Amino acid sequence: MKKILHQESEIRGSDILIVGYGREGESVHRYIIKNYPKMRVSIADQKLVAPLFPVLNIFSGKQWLSTLDNFQTVVRSPGVPDTLSELVSYKASGGFVTSSANIFFSRTKQTVIGVTGTKGKSTTTSLIAHLLSQKIVDVRVVGNIGKPVLDYIEDETKETIYVFEMSSHQLADIRYSPQIAIILPVVSEHLDYYGSFEKYYEAKARIVLFQTKKDSVIYNKDDKTAREIAQRSLGRKVAYNTQGGKTYANAPLLGNKENMRAAFACCTIFSLSAKDMEKGLFTFMPLPHRLEFVGKYKGIRFYNDSLATIPEATIHAIQSLGDKTETLIAGGFDRGVSYEKLVEFLVHSSIKTIILMGQTGNKLAIVLRSNKENHMNIIEASSMKEAIRAAYKNTAEGKICVLSPAATSFDQYKDYKDRGEQFTTWVRRVAAE
């Protein structure tokens, strides 16, 4: 390993390797070029990439991580598992691995609100930023939902507050904690990435590991995982619950108590009044593909919840929409997630017709047909067009049809956005036939 010529908190030496050159990797490259112009930059990515700026080397293909020992700093992008054998060996031999999140926390002097959990991070992050913006002039949404964090740090001011949506991939090797950490419920997901729920859970829990007594952790006291993670923090505990209280039935954020209560608890720390928060709630526009109202066609209300990639999210969607929810379109890529809880919920729900697609659709069809309590009409569709036609045929006027897949989309679609857009397109096209 080369001798380190100079050393700073998260950027060390004179040779740096950016591992993974997607959106985050490009952001790191821009940051390094601007702040460390003499640094020799190389890129490692499984695919051959086109760098934004000239680099010393590009490593790709099967041997893309074979030269780690030539670098004093390796910057891991979130999509690259920190458990890869090459990275583990490199760290064991004294190599230094960092990330854009670590670089950001080492540099910013402003307050950071970090939001994590399995589902609802983007909505909670957006809602907090929307509510705070009523009283604070410079609120910046960063992380998964916004631009990469390093794209924002150069022009921060004393008024800047960051609301950072933090995924398990960003937290896996984090060495800092936000001053305010928000813990939404954690359930099984990304098991293909982590191998076990325990490893995924531990990644999430790192959000509070470096908090001090001056910091705060906000969590759902009715959720076991959120409570346990919060107890690891040295900071002040701020609990909320999703039971009772106002429901705000006419607010655009339909039925989403989890995100709403978490956001309200956070904004209270910044002294926003209940009146200001309620006012902001009614001007907040929900994010696309998250219980998004598509429209009313032929008397049927259609909702796009394509981002529901786990069973718990689909259960939440049906509960939020209420008893008028008659048709569910579900199914997608099979990641080995258990659907036992979803099946138990569906056979006692208001759903009369379930339209199933993809790999998990096939599995669910078999399980539901063998369930003696099943009351649903089960339809298997090979395309979104076919699914929508079946929805129109089997859903009564005045009722609801929702796309809430309980699975990722990678078996048939580019991503959840592609799936949601196709749902919306075919809802409108079939209505016009």
Q: State pLDDT tens for residues 147-200.
A: 889 999 989 999 999 999 999 889 999 999 999 999 998 886 655 555 678 888
Cβ–Cβ < 8 Å for 323, 179: no
Residue ranges of the chain with pLDDT lower than 50?
Answer: 1-8
Domains and CATH numbers, the chain: 15-98 (3.40.50.720), 102-281 (3.40.1190.10), 292-432 (3.90.190.20)
Length of the chain: 433
pTM surpassing 0.85?
Answer: no
**What is the reported pLDDT for 188?**
62
pLDDT digits (tens, 9 = 90+) for 403-421: 999 999 888 999 999 999 9
The burial of 148, by beta-carbon neighbours within 10 Å (0-12 exposed, 13-18 middle, 19 or more buried), is given as buried
**What is the reported pLDDT for 119?**
82
Q: Which residues contact 177 (CB under 8 A, 6 or more apart)?
A: 114, 207, 208, 209, 210, 211, 215, 233
Judged by DSSP in three states, 352 sits in coil
The C-alpha atoms of residue 377 and residue 31 are separated, in whole angstroms, by 55
